[in-house]
Every structure is written in C-alpha cells, then in structure tokens.
Structure 1
Amino acid sequence: MKATYDLPCNIAQTLNIIGDRWTLLVVHEILIGNTTFNEIKNNLEGISSNLLSDRLKYLESCGLIATSLYSHHPPRYQYTLTESGRDLEDVFNAIILWGRSHLEKCYKKLIHQKCNHEVNITYYCPHCKENVDDVSVAEVDI
C-alpha cells in the first residue's frame, strides 16, 4: 500500500497502515477468531479474494499479523495477530463505544462480564497509579 499521508502525526501515520478500506475489518475478523482465508472472506461480505489477499500480505509486511502454513497441498495459511495487531483491540473497543453513543443503529456494546453492565474507557497513569480525566496530547522529543 502506498502511504497516503506524509504528515508528522501519529494519527496520519497510523492511518497509512490501517486506514485502507477493509483493513480494520480484516484485523477484527482475526481478533475474534476467524483465522483462515475462507473464514475471513465468508464473514466480510463484499470483499474480493484479490483484495483480501492483498490486505493480508500488507498486514503481514507491517507486522500486524503472522502467517503459518497449515496445508501444503494446496497451500493454506492460518493468520494470527502479533502483539502489535492485538493492541488494536483497544481501538476497536473505542470505536464500539463511539458507535454506541453516536450511531442511529448500533449492533454491539462493551460490557463487564461479571455484572453484564456497559463499561467506559478510563485512562490510567502508571506513574501516579491513578485513573485520570485530565489527559492531553504532547509532542514527543525526537
């Protein structure tokens, strides 16, 4: 994939990796346990085989997924998320929460498994060992 954004911005640089059509949905399928090409394709109605193949190769080259051969004839692969890919679960959760608040038709919600009530995102400072509500974005010294 070609980098779309040449901006000194974490959001722009992240979108260069995961911002293409279908990419996040492919990662999400692997996250929820659909780990073969056919499982992913069958769950993403409308994606072509060529596009899915391209997305999987790209995600592997970016280090978000790993592949392992599970059948030699014909060659078939299983896809798993790397640590970097698994870290996108927080992004998916944030999108689910945003959708719960802002979409006219919402399909999912995040719940606490113990009590079955909805949850919110909380920011935590490991230095102070406390939850915080006064977060801000700061430049990184390079």
Structure 2
Amino acid sequence: MRQDSRSGCPVATTLDIVGDRWTLVILRDMLNGKRRFSQFLDSPERITTNVLTDRLSLMERAGLVQKAAYQLHPKRFEYTLTRKGEALLPLLQEMCRWANRFVPGTWTAPETFMTRRIS
C-alpha cells in the first residue's frame, strides 16, 4: 500500500491518484492527442494555468505522464502518457458509456476514442 493512500482499497487508492476534478480530463485530452500546455488550456473545461501546472506535476510524480522539453528558449515541455497512464483508457471509455446512458445531454465521444485499445 502506498504511504499516502487512505487504505488498501483499490477504489480509494485509484481515487487518491486520479480522483480530483482535473486529472481524468487531462488524461482524456492526452489520449486524444494533446501534448502541450497550450493545447490543454484550449479544452472546453477551461482549466487555469496554475491548476494545470499542479496536475501535470502530480501526474508526472504518479508515473502517469513524462515530460520532455521541445523548446529551450523559453523552456517549454510536452507531455506523453506512460504505459501506466495509457492503461486508464478503458476506465475513461466506461465513464463515457455510463454518462451517455444515464446523464442526458452529455457529448458522445469520438468513435476513434471509444474503439481505441491499449497498445
């Protein structure tokens, strides 16, 4: 069990990592091809820069993403999912199916997202 986990419960442990309001949205964006800070800011949820910086840092520490500089002056980074981060794809797909079934007015995810498989 992780030291910062509330318990050994797999649901609680997973929520300790991705259970905030933004992490799964950022993962969704990454699974749909976004990699750069400015691209995440363009999402319809309108995450603020300080929250985005914080979440990307938390995701990196949790091993969900890795960052690499794509420009040195000024220094800018792009983020890619690790295998651990990509493994959350089925969870996000099921969340889409659940919302489309039970929450009227939710968007239908692109077919390319819903049929994608973990590599």
Match for 2:20: what amino acid?
D
Q: In 2, are the aligned partners of 1:96 and 1:110 still within 8 Å (CA)?
A: no
Residue type of the partner of 1:72? L
Residue matched to 1:10? 10
CA-atom RMSD in angstroms:
2.0
What secondary structure does 1:79 align onto? strand
Higher relative contact order (CA 8 A, sep 6+): 2
**Match of 2:94, as an amino acid?**
A
- 4+ aligned runs moved over 2 Å, structure 1: none
CA distance in 2, matches of 1:109, 1:34: 15
Q: Which runs of 5+ in 1 are unaligned?
A: 120-142
1:27 aligned partner: 27
Aligned to 2:79, what secondary structure does the other structure show?
strand
Q: Is the 8 A contact 1:64 1:82 kept in 2?
A: yes
For residues 109 and 69 of structure 1, do their structure 2 counterparts lie closer, same or farther at Cα, with a shift above 3 Å needed? closer
Unaligned runs of 5+ in 2: none
Query: What SS is found at the alignment partner of 1:43?
Result: coil
Q: d(CA) in 1 for partners of 2:75 and 2:110?
A: 37
Please say if 1:75 is aligned against 2:71. no
CA distance in 1, matches of 2:101, 2:35: 30
Deviation at 1:46, TM superposition (A): 2.6
Q: How does 1:86-105 map to 2 (within 5 A)?
A: 86-105=86-105
Paired residues, what number? 111
Separation in structure 1 between the aligned mates of residue 21 and residue 95 of structure 2, nearest angstrom: 16
1: CA distance, partners of 2:87 / 2:31: 10
